[in-house]
Amino acid sequence: SYAWITILRPTGVLNSVLGFIGIPPLELLNQNAAVFIGMSYSYLPYIVTVLYASLEKLDKRLLEASADLGATPQETFIKITVPQTLPGIAAGCLLVFISSLGDFVDPELLGGASSMTAARLIYNQFLGNTQNWGFGSALSMVLIMGVSIAIALLLKYGGGETKASK
Q: How far apart are CA 38 and CA 2, in angstroms?
A: 10
CA distances from 127 to 15, 70, 116, 122, 124 (A): 36, 62, 15, 9, 5
User: What are the tens digits of pLDDT across the range 88-143?
Assistant: 998 899 999 999 988 888 888 998 887 888 888 898 899 888 889 999 999 999 99
SS3 category, 159: coil
Look at residue 83 in the predicted model and tell me its pLDDT. 92
SS3 category, 78: helix
User: What are the tens digits of pLDDT across the range 27-57?
Assistant: 988 888 999 999 999 999 999 999 999 999 9
pTM: 0.77
Domains of the chain in start order, with CATH, are: 45-158 (1.10.3720.10)
Q: How far apart are CA 86 and CA 54, in angstroms?
A: 8
SS3 category, 161: coil
SS3 category, 165: coil
